[in-house]
Amino acid sequence: MVAGESGAGPITAFDASAFATRIACEVKDFKPEELIGRKDARRMDRFTQFAVVAANEAIADAQLPESSEFKERTGVVIGTGIGGIITFWLNSEKANANGTWSKVTPFFIPMLMANAEAAHISMQHHFQGPVFSAASACASGNDAIATAYNYVAHGDAVAMVTGGSEATVSPLAIGGFASMKAMSTRNDDPTRASRPFDAQRDGFVLGEGAGILVLEEYEHARARGAKIYCEVLGYGQSADAYDLVAVDPEGRGVMLALQRAFASAGITPADVDYINAHGTSTPIGDPAESKAIALALGAHAAEIGVSSTKSMHGHALGGAGGIEGVATVMAVHDDLMPPTINYEFPDPECTLDYVPNVARRATVRVALSNSFGFGGHNSVIVFGKAPSGS
């Protein structure tokens, strides 16, 4: 992301030649059998494989204690918007080809269910705290992080593994979004197709992947000498109460989520240095988000960096909040704002500083991560510098 590299390219998961959109941001060279073992990998949908691999990386980085007492008080909440759609597609194809539904794998239901990712992480690491999945479309990852934060803040868990994961690059998902005319059709120039806030944007580019964080009670983490990247200060949630798929063009619901995030975190708009925007590269969504940020932050909105990393990794739906949460954490930790690439033609309806094309070195004390989903679900997470001395 800091390098400003796009992950978009022609779809390789299936023959997409008949579709209006034939590009996506796929996870390349992913070999789950080498990362989690052949037996386990065969019993997981791709979205669960992503979540398990990312969780293993996060848990190893956190060097979590191995005691049974710690694991009894550690939980898992992972977001996904759709779940095992690839399992659904592949088994439907197999059944239709053979003319019988008896060919459906006995693992079909366990692979399909949205909570499979959280369950597998819990089983592999023997975590016995609260374990489930959050499903609120493209806000799922952020809602999972907010839920995990609450468990730790209220003392119901000492640590939570959280974030989001999604894997939907399939004919069903591409066909559905293409029918809605929601995706970019810039098939001949995929790396420039996702262009949030740019006047020539024509829709989002589908992405896939997972981003997983370990949230731990501060004093517990400090006492054991854990590496602390930043602090979760709070969150804000709201509903547009407007339309099942269209955003409120006035951005009123998003404004409420931002205001509630400020109240939860105990900050003012003037404290914010950076926003990792939802920024999907859709004609209606980007201006609505820009308007909401301007309404919630007032004059200060023009003084901060607001970038969309979806310009590089695409829109991972329920996984977006996890991936972008990791990006926002690192922006705070490294004092480095990732860019919005492909920003060439300013849109008069999008008037903020979108950190165009090149990463920016700047002090980032407080940062927001925005995620909004079909159904009008709005979720904002607030990250801040870890307390001095940690």
Which one is catalytic: 25, 120, 125, 138? 138
Can you give the pTM of this predicted structure?
A: 0.97
Res 310 pLDDT > 80: yes
Query: In 10 A of CB 388, how many CB atoms?
Result: 5
- How far is 102 from 114, CA to CA, in rounded Å? 23
pLDDT at 96: 85
pLDDT at 67: 97
Q: What is the pLDDT of residues 273-304, one digit of tens each?
A: 999 999 999 999 999 999 999 999 999 999 99
HEC profile for the chain?
Answer: CCCCCCCCEECCCCCCCCCCCCEEECCCCCCHHHHHCHHHHHCCCHHHHHHHHHHHHHHHHHCCCCCHHHHHCEEEEEECCCCCHHHHHHHHHHHHHHCCHHHCCCCHHHHHCCCHHHHHHHHHHCCCCCEEEECECECHHHHHHHHHHHHHHCCCCCEEEEEEEECCCCHHHHHHHHHCCCECCCCCCHHHCCCCCECCCCCECEECEEEEEEEECHHHHHHCCCCCCCEEEEEEEEECCCCCCCCCCCCHHHHHHHHHHHHHHCCCHHHCCEEECCCCCCCCHHHHHHHHHHHHHHHHHHHCEEECCHHHHCECHHHHHHHHHHHHHHHHHHCEECCECCCCCECCCCCCECCECCCEECCCCEEEEEEEECCCEEEEEEEECCCCCC
pLDDT confidence of 389, banded at 50, 70, 90? Answer: low
CA 48 to chain centre: 14
Domains of the chain as residue ranges with CATH: 9-223 (3.40.47.10), 231-384 (3.40.47.10)
pLDDT at 99: 80
- How far is 163 from 134, CA to CA, in rounded Å? 10
Q: What is the pLDDT of residues 128-186, one digit of tens each?
A: 999 999 999 999 999 999 999 999 999 999 999 999 999 999 999 999 999 999 999 99
Q: What is the pLDDT of residues 176-194, one digit of tens each?
A: 999 999 999 999 999 999 9
Which one is catalytic: 125, 278, 313, 377? 278
Residue 138 bears catalytic tag: yes
pLDDT confidence of 205, banded at 50, 70, 90? Answer: very high
Residue 230 bears catalytic tag: no
Res 390 pLDDT > 80: no
In this prediction, residues 349-356 reach a mean pLDDT of 98
Residue 278 bears catalytic tag: yes
| Mean pLDDT, the chain, whole residue set | 97
pLDDT confidence of 326, banded at 50, 70, 90? Answer: very high
Q: What is the pLDDT of residues 218-248, one digit of tens each?
A: 999 999 999 999 999 999 999 999 999 999 9
Which one is catalytic: 125, 315, 350, 377? 315
Q: What is the pLDDT of residues 50-107, one digit of tens each?
A: 999 999 999 999 999 999 999 999 999 999 999 999 999 999 998 888 787 787 899 9
